[in-house]
């Protein structure tokens, strides 16, 4: 049956009830379009990892709460679980809100966020406060770690700059992005945050490689990466201690060794929720070493499922990009998923004693305020950028189609 617009009275005003019905229909229509265009498989994988994170933080919360309790302040065993659920709810709101943005608006939001967080990162050495020997946070009524929010913004900003090359191949976009990476890397090393510097460098390398550079420049980039690690080892105590500990010896080595033993203690099926004992000796059980807690209480099979979910997350985005036409979308999505996947596998390798300790959380699973919200925001940007009308046939995207030669 056909619907007719409401009858407008002589005064020219639409009745309030009609306006309300029109607004409700508009909202339902916007939601229907959003639901049709987003990658629902990607959203399901993300929500599954977040659900696992809820159970994992519940398992690890008693260990961290007891470790951080003092004679004057006694934390409830589930203190970090309650806090994590709150942060997850805020993160979900940020994710859905960002995913509903049009692609151009998501790009602008990412660029503005990147500029704001770069300024905040510059303020950390001056106004930041120290936790566990690292000055990474600003007190803005709540603790804010600018580097966490800079991660998704960095991928979007880099993609925007590199996409200029599609219009003019002669623009020095690689040089601009390299200069930006050097500035961010220097600011991170001042905190010091060697792990985040490595992650930013990895995302930068992936995006520059995808944008199209010669083999000669690839060799220069790899040489620069080796030089960075050597200089970090020679000039920064934080990096040197972590590398030395990985090679054997020191407190950090003892922590990673304990994490590996905790991971294997539960066998294939685990000891059961809240029945693990080795986790009680783990530092940062709810953040850096939560993967080991999962291994002890839920078993190696659960750990394998998590690894598969992360692989599926990365592969899903890459498959979706196979027929993408827009260069910015391809680079931004690749950068965002490289950041999430790279951080996940660095954390997992640390827990397996296959990588130097980085002080890095497990994305979408570990407890965190800034990290949880920033990761959800990044996923929201990813869902927004990869939105597409399913009824429009798309041609396969190639770098040569925009004049870029490898």
Per-residue buried b or exposed e for 368-403, using 16+ beta carbons within 10 Å of the residue's own CB: bbbbbbbbbbbbbbbbbbbbbeeeeeeeebebeebe
Overall average pLDDT of the 3-27 stretch: 58
Structure tokens at 237: 């105590």
Q: Which of 306, 335, 324 is nearest to 200 (CA)?
A: 335
Overall average pLDDT of the 194-202 stretch: 87
- Sorting pLDDT into bands at 50, 70 and 90, what band is 402? very low
What's the pLDDT at 306?
Answer: 96
Distance CA 196, CA 80 (A): 24
3-class state of residue 144 by DSSP: strand
What's the pLDDT at 249?
Answer: 53
Overall average pLDDT of the 349-361 stretch: 80
What's the pLDDT at 305?
Answer: 96
Q: What's the DSSP call for residue 73?
A: -
Overall average pLDDT of the 33-54 stretch: 93
* Digit-coded pLDDT (tens) for 176-189: 988 899 899 889 88
CB atoms within 10 A of CB 219: 10
Asked if residues 42 and 383 have their Cβ atoms less than 8 Å apart, the reply is: yes
Whether residue 376 has pLDDT greater than 50: yes
Overall average pLDDT of the 28-52 stretch: 89
DSSP 213-225: --HHHHHHHHHHH
Long-range contacts of 48-51 (CB under 8 A, 24+ apart): 48/309, 49/306, 49/309, 49/310, 49/313, 49/363, 49/364, 49/365, 50/88, 50/91, 50/92, 50/364, 50/365
Distance CA 124, CA 145 (A): 9
- Sorting pLDDT into bands at 50, 70 and 90, what band is 406? very low
pTM of the model: 0.83
- Sorting pLDDT into bands at 50, 70 and 90, what band is 140? confident
**Distance between terminal CA atoms of the chain?**
57
Whether residue 7 has pLDDT greater than 60: no
**Order of strands across the sheet with 129-131?**
129-131, 134-139, 143-144
Whether residue 171 has pLDDT greater than 80: yes
Q: Which has the higher per-residue pLDDT, 213 or 251?
A: 213
- Sorting pLDDT into bands at 50, 70 and 90, what band is 394? low
What's the pLDDT at 340?
Answer: 95
Range scoring the smallest mean pLDDT among 75-89, 141-155, 347-361, 392-406: 392-406
Whether residue 384 has pLDDT greater than 90: yes
What's the pLDDT at 228?
Answer: 67
* Digit-coded pLDDT (tens) for 276-332: 888 888 888 888 899 999 999 999 999 999 999 999 999 999 998 888 888 899 999
Q: Which has the higher per-residue pLDDT, 395 or 187?
A: 187
What's the pLDDT at 134?
Answer: 73
Q: What's the DSSP call for residue 43?
A: H
Q: Which residues have C-beta within 8 Å of that of residue 138, sequence separation ≥ 6? A: 120, 123, 124, 127, 128, 129, 144, 145, 146
């Amino acid at each position: 049956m056909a619907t007719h617009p409401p009858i407008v009275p002589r005064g020219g005003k639409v009745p309030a009830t009609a306006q309300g019905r029109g607004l409700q229909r508009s909202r339902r229509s916007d939601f229907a379009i959003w639901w049709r265009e987003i990658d629902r498989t990607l959203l399901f994988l993300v929500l599954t990892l977040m659900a696992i994170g809820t159970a994992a933080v519940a398992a690890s919360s008693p260990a961290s709460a007891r470790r951080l309790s003092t004679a004057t302040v006694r934390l409830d065993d589930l203190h970090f679980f309650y806090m994590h659920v709150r942060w997850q709810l805020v993160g979900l709101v940020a994710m859905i809100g960002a995913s509903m943005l049009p692609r151009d608006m998501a790009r602008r939001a990412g660029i503005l966020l990147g500029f704001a967080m770069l300024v905040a990162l510059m303020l950390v050495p001056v106004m930041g406060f120290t936790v566990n020997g690292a000055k990474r946070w600003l007190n803005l009524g709540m603790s804010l770690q600018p580097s966490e929010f800079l991660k998704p913004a960095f991928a979007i900003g880099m993609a925007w700059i590199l996409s200029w090359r599609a219009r003019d191949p002669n623009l020095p976009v690689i040089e601009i992005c390299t200069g930006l990476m050097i500035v961010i890397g220097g600011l991170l090393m001042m905190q010091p945050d060697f792990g985040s510097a490595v992650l930013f460098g990895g995302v930068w390398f992936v995006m520059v490689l995808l944008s199209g550079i010669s083999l000669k420049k690839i060799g220069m980039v790899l040489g620069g990466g080796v030089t960075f690690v050597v200089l970090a080892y020679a000039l920064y105590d934080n990096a040197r201690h972590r590398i030395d500990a990985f090679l054997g010896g020191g407190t950090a080595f003892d922590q990673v060794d304990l994490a590996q033993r905790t991971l294997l203690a539960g066998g294939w099926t685990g000891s059961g929720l809240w029945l693990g004992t080795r986790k009680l000796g783990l530092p940062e059980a709810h953040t850096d070493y939560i993967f080991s807690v999962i291994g002890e209480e839920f078993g190696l099979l659960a750990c394998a499922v998590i690894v598969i979910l992360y692989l599926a997350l990365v592969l899903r985005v890459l498959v979706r990009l196979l027929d993408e036409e827009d260069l910015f979308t391809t680079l931004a999505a690749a950068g965002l998923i490289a950041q999430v996947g790279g951080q996940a596998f660095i954390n997992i390798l640390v827990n397996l004693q296959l990588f130097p300790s980085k002080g890095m959380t497990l994305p979408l699973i570990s407890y965190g305020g800034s990290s949880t919200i920033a990761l959800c925001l990044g996923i929201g940007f990813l869902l927004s950028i990869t939105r597409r009308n399913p009824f429009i046939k798309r041609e396969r995207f190639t770098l040569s189609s925009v004049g870029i030669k490898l």
